[in-house]
Structure formats: structure tokens, C-alpha cells
Amino acid sequence: MKAMLLHEPKPVEQRPLSLGEVADPKAGPGDLLVRVRVCGVCRTDLHEVEGELPMRRSPVIPGHQIVGTVAGFGEGVSGFRIGDRVGMAWLHDTCGGCEFCLRDSENLCETANFTGWSVDGGYAEYTTIPAAFAYNIPDGFPDEQAAPLLCAGIIGYRALRLSGIQPGQRLGLYGFGASAHIAIQVARHWGCEAYVFTRSKGNRDLARKLGAKWVGGSRDEPPAKVHASVIFAPAGALVRDALTVLEKGGTIALAGIYMTPIPELDYLEHLYDERIVRSVANATRRDGRELLELAASIPIHTQTQAFPLEQANEALLALKNSEVAGAAVLRCATAL
């Protein structure tokens, strides 16, 4: 099969991904063999490709926002048929028996595998997934619109929950890419006011279109302090900016897997009055199921820009340069 392979991290301008022919994957016990239709392009992929996340295997096929169809089964799989449409996310599998898995925190499992990082992912024509970690995609979402829900949507939903935002409150969103453009639709559905902090004109326009109450830059003063914020951009300096406009008792959720260093904070100015800063690490299958159900009921509309599989480097470069309004996706089936 055809796949985009990462052998060594490099700046994406140097085109670190190469198109190659590799053996078709085999479904092991409990696994689904999936023919990939589309795969979303995530900022986590960019961090991996450029080396901000250490490689866990080489070469590796990146990609973890996968929509495809079941093409085969491993031993012991039930509940799926050939041709069923399924989704795959960042969490590929867990041990199921550690203290974190047993207390409903499988996202923190010490031996978890992650799609496109520790195991091959979806920048390819085929991949495999444990059936227990596959999602049913709601009807009504075309493949390209469904793909961003599987990480951008899931992690944004978890970040909103961990921020503690309540209906009727003011929510700050820092960075307005794939995750934020889904999160704002959830927040608006909950009756929250959204204050968006972003640099890109295209993303500012999209934020207004999706109902933002106010849009500006990270150093701009919003019309009122916010009760909670989610930081999607991987810039540590935003933490201090966000704390200056956070209400007493508010929480800032850091939704990225990577962030540049956070500057020194002044305790009285930034943290006092019971303000909280917390990270968001991966997501659970429960988060995924809840988000997909919510996405269908709202319904959420994702805005996407599609690239052919062989242009994965170009898609990542566009993401890096904030040239994608919404989410980028790769059309993998077209390479067959």
C-alpha cells in the first residue's frame, strides 16, 4: 500500500514525509483492518514531524483522525461488518488494568499506544485498530467533515469539560484552528459567550461567523473578564496573557500535547484568587463517544480543506503558517 513515512524529524519546510510502498497491515486478534478514506491533519502531527515530540518508532506513519471502512477482522472481533464506517482517534489502546485505567482515567495509562506515534496511523491506504477503540461515525457527517471530530473535536470537548465552563458564562479561546472551531460550537450550544483570541484574519472571520461575542489578539483587552479559558495554541506566553483576563476562581485548560516554555508568573497578579491552570492529556473513549453524540445532536459543522495523501507535507506547512481556516484533511482513498 501507499503511505507517507516519517524517518527523521525535520522542519516541515524540508518535506520530512516521503511517499512510499509498504506492506499491507494485518489485523491481529481483536483488531479491525481499516481501509482509510480520509485522515485529519492535526497540530500534534506537526509537533511529531518537526521533532517537538520525540519519535517512538522509525519509520512511522503519522495520522490519528481517521475515517474509513472495515476491510477485515482479526480473531475474536464481533459487532462489526465488512464495509462499516468507523473512526479512529489518538488513543490506540491501553493496558486496561493499571490504576489509571481502573479509575476511568485511561488517557493517563502508562503503557498506552497512540495512533500515528507509537503505532502506525492514517496517512496511508490501510491501517489497523483494536475493535474496542474504534468509533461508529454518526450518519449525516461526510467523511471529510467527520475526521476533525476524532481529535480536534474530542480534545476540545475534554478541554471544555476540564475548564469548568458553565452555561451562561464567558469562555476564552486562544488560537482558533481545528479544535477551537469545534469547541466554540459546543460552547454556544451550552449557552456560553465566546471570546476568541487569535492572530489570523481568516480565523477571526471564522470565529465571528460561528458566533463569537468578541474577537481580538492575545494582548487585547476583552469587554469583560472570562470565567474559563482553553488555550489551543502551543505558545506558553499565552498562559500569562490568559491569566490577566481570567475571573477569580476561573480555570485555564491547556489543550495541546506540546507548549513552549511558560514565562515567570507573578503570584498575586496572575494566580491569586484561586485561579487554576491545568493540562489536558489525551482523551478517553468516553470523551469520544460523548462528543460524537453531541456533534450529531447540535449538529456541529466542521470546515475543512482537503489535500491528496501525497501532499501531506504541504498540508502540515499550511497548518504551521495558519493558512487553514478550520481543519485540514488528507484524502487517502484517492491514492488507490
38 shares a domain with 115? yes
Q: Provide the domain count of the chain.
A: 2
294 shares a domain with 274? no
Boundary residue ending a domain (236, 260, 279): 279
| CA 203/CA 327 separation, integer angstroms | 11
| CA 28/CA 33 separation, integer angstroms | 9
Nearest CA among 270, 276, 232, 225 for reference residue 251:
276
- Residue pair 74/88 in contact (Cβ under 8 Å)? The answer is no
177 shares a domain with 71? no
pLDDT along the chain (336 residues), means of 10: 98 98 96 98 97 96 98 95 97 97 96 98 98 95 96 97 97 96 98 96 94 95 97 97 98 96 96 98 97 97 96 97 93 68
Q: For residue 210, give its domain range.
A: 153-279
Extract long-range pairs of 185-192: CB within 8 Å, 24+ residues apart: 185/210, 185/298, 185/300, 185/301, 186/156, 186/157, 186/160, 186/294, 186/298, 186/300, 187/160, 189/294, 189/298, 190/165, 190/166, 191/167, 192/165, 192/166, 192/167, 192/168
* DSSP character at residue 233: S
Instruction: Give residue 336's pLDDT.
Output: 37
| CA 236/CA 321 separation, integer angstroms | 18
Instruction: Give residue 116's pLDDT.
Output: 98
Sequence-distant (6+) residues with CB within 8 A of 36 are: 66, 67, 68, 122, 124, 125, 126, 127, 332, 333
211 shares a domain with 259? yes
- Residue pair 280/254 in contact (Cβ under 8 Å)? The answer is yes
141 shares a domain with 6? yes
9 shares a domain with 79? yes
Its pTM stands at 0.95
> What CATH number corresponds to the domain at position 161?
3.40.50.720
229 shares a domain with 137? no
| CA 41/CA 22 separation, integer angstroms | 21
| CA 2/CA 35 separation, integer angstroms | 12
Q: What is the DSSP secondary-structure string of 147-204?
A: GGGGTHHHHHHHHHHHHT--TTSEEEEES-SHHHHHHHHHHHHTT-EEEEE---HHHH
Nearest CA among 135, 176, 141, 166 for reference residue 286:
135
> What CATH number corresponds to the domain at position 78?
3.90.180.10
326 shares a domain with 253? no
Instruction: Give residue 200's pLDDT.
Output: 87
108 shares a domain with 33? yes
274 shares a domain with 233? yes
